Amino acid sequence: MGLWDKLMGEFVDVIQWLDDSNDTLVYRFERHGNEIKFGAKLTVREGQVAVFVNEGQLADVFQPGMYELKTNNLPILSTLQAWQHGFESPFKAEVYFFSTRRFTDLKWGTQNPVMLRDPEFGPIRLRAFGAYAIRVKDATIFLREIVGTDGRFTTDEITGQLRNMVVSRFTNILGQAKIPALDLAGNYDQLGQFLLQRIAPEFEAVGLELTNLLVENISLPKEVEAALDRRTSMGIVGNLDQYTQFQAAEALRDAAGNPGGGSEALNMGLGLAMAQRLSETLARPAQPTPAPQPIPAAPPPLPVANPYFVAMNNQQAGPFPMGELQQQVQAGQLTRATLVWAQGMAKWTPAGEVAELAALFANLPPPLPG
């Protein structure tokens, strides 16, 4: 074996990345002097992208597959290193592997409560938390904007910045939505989808894709939750007086079942309480029992309006039922000034002054002023 072959054998001829972690976004392939043998094998697995960097400049990008590194499949690197003709010597370049799989279950949450004005409770403070998932969408943008020269870039190095971005946009959206606190649980999905659409362009600006975002919980402070629990308990108890009687009866039953277990003071107190309750009950005036109302065998007859006599041409006409009176009003024969009389009336009265006939003239204009 010649000296040149020995030196060539020392260079790396297989370039690949076997990721055994679950949080590495970017890995730089390390080797001495960054030298790569001409014709070396590059293996890019599914869920990966390889990027070559030449003297700080982005060069060629390789999608999943196996490549033999030669001039024809390194067009950008060949241009940067001025390989106009065939080149078979080792060359220098940095190789970055990007994991393009989804990184799930990344947490976000509000470090400080969010101040809001609730339509039912007034000013309140809310805390929220959830999860989101990301993946590398554009390796070159992500390398340029975020990674830089980091040899191993993990999710821990960027989740803080992403979490702050999510919380900031979520706070703004929650304040604009003006959803009552008691109705927020029914709007988690809508809030998550709206938040995803709102901040997805900001993730894409750094080469990332926000694939999913969930709102898991929005909670009130512990003091407010305790007050809300007491309010709920009062609603469940219902009649407080009856509940007190029930509790006293239960205590007496337990004391009777265990004569030696309770203290004399407790038994005496319960006895006095029940005696006071009994005296209050006896002191209340007895309420008369209402007499049962007979159930009618058949419904009563419909009320029938009295027929009216009408003065026409200084003569008495009628009596007419309400239907005929309505027709006379429409024909102009019966006016507000026409005298009418019905059973129970003391004298003849203008029709417009009879309350029962007032509805007949509701659609007619009043008489012109004299």
Domain boundary among 64, 83, 99: 99
Q: What is the pLDDT of residue 252?
A: 67
Regarding whether 214 and 226 lie in a shared domain, the answer is no
Question: Is 300 among the domain residues?
Answer: no
Regarding whether 37 and 15 lie in a shared domain, the answer is yes
Q: What is the pLDDT of residue 159?
A: 92
Question: Is 214 among the domain residues?
Answer: yes
Token code pair at residue 257: 């079942």
* Sequence-ordered list of residues with C-beta below 8 angstroms from that of 279, at least 6 positions apart, any chain: none
Q: What is the pLDDT of residue 1?
A: 43
Question: Is 335 among the domain residues?
Answer: yes
Please give the C-alpha separations between residue 30 and each of 47, 141, 340, in angstroms, as whole numbers: 20, 22, 115
Question: Is 59 among the domain residues?
Answer: yes
Domain encompassing residue 18: 3-99
Q: Give the Cα-Cα-Cα angle 90, 92, 96 (nearest 5 degrees).
A: 125
Q: What is the pLDDT of residue 210?
A: 94
Please tell me the distance from the alpha carbon of residue 167 to that of residue 171, in angstroms, as a whole number. 6
Which DSSP category does 44 fall into?
E
Domain boundary among 79, 99, 119: 99
Q: What is the pLDDT of residue 8?
A: 47
pLDDT tens for the chain, 370 residues: list them.
455 444 444 556 889 999 888 899 999 998 777 788 888 899 999 999 999 998 888 889 999 999 988 876 787 777 776 665 555 667 888 899 999 999 999 999 998 888 888 888 888 889 999 999 999 999 999 999 999 889 999 999 999 999 999 999 999 888 888 888 888 888 899 999 999 999 999 999 999 999 999 999 998 888 877 877 777 776 666 665 666 666 667 776 776 666 655 556 555 655 666 566 656 655 666 566 666 666 556 666 655 567 878 887 777 877 888 778 787 777 777 787 788 878 777 788 887 777 777 777 776 666 666 5
Please tell me the distance from the alpha carbon of residue 368 to that of residue 370, in angstroms, as a whole number. 6
Regarding whether 200 and 156 lie in a shared domain, the answer is yes
Regarding whether 189 and 95 lie in a shared domain, the answer is no
Regarding whether 214 and 119 lie in a shared domain, the answer is yes
> Do residues 49 and 139 lie in contact, with contact meaning Cβ atoms separated by under 8 Å?
yes
Question: Is 282 among the domain residues?
Answer: no
Token code pair at residue 235: 């609603």
Q: What is the pLDDT of residue 273?
A: 61
Question: Is 169 among the domain residues?
Answer: yes
Token code pair at residue 176: 């604009």
Regarding whether 75 and 147 lie in a shared domain, the answer is no
Please tell me the distance from the alpha carbon of residue 67 to that of residue 52, in angstroms, as a whole number. 13
Domain boundary among 75, 99, 123: 99
> Do residues 333 and 320 lie in contact, with contact meaning Cβ atoms separated by under 8 Å?
no
> Do residues 214 and 130 lie in contact, with contact meaning Cβ atoms separated by under 8 Å?
yes
Question: Is 352 among the domain residues?
Answer: yes
Regarding whether 239 and 187 lie in a shared domain, the answer is no
Regarding whether 60 and 158 lie in a shared domain, the answer is no
Question: Is 136 among the domain residues?
Answer: yes
Neighbours of 72 (CB within 10 A): 9
Q: What is the pLDDT of residue 32?
A: 73
Regarding whether 77 and 107 lie in a shared domain, the answer is no
> Do residues 94 and 85 lie in contact, with contact meaning Cβ atoms separated by under 8 Å?
no
Which DSSP category does 53 fall into?
E
Regarding whether 252 and 321 lie in a shared domain, the answer is no
Strand partners, 106: 132
Regarding whether 241 and 171 lie in a shared domain, the answer is no
Strands (E), the chain: 12-15, 24-29, 35-44, 48-54, 57-62, 65-68, 91-92, 94-99, 103-109, 114-118, 122-136, 152-154, 208-219, 308-312, 315-320, 339-341, 349-350
How many structural domains is the chain composed of? Answer: 4
Regarding whether 126 and 91 lie in a shared domain, the answer is no
Please give the C-alpha separations between residue 74 and each of 60, 77, 82, in angstroms, as whole numbers: 6, 5, 12
Token code pair at residue 241: 């007086």
Q: What is the pLDDT of residue 9?
A: 47
Please give the C-alpha separations between residue 162 and each of 149, 165, 202, 286, 310, in angstroms, as whole numbers: 20, 5, 10, 73, 90
Q: What is the pLDDT of residue 152?
A: 93
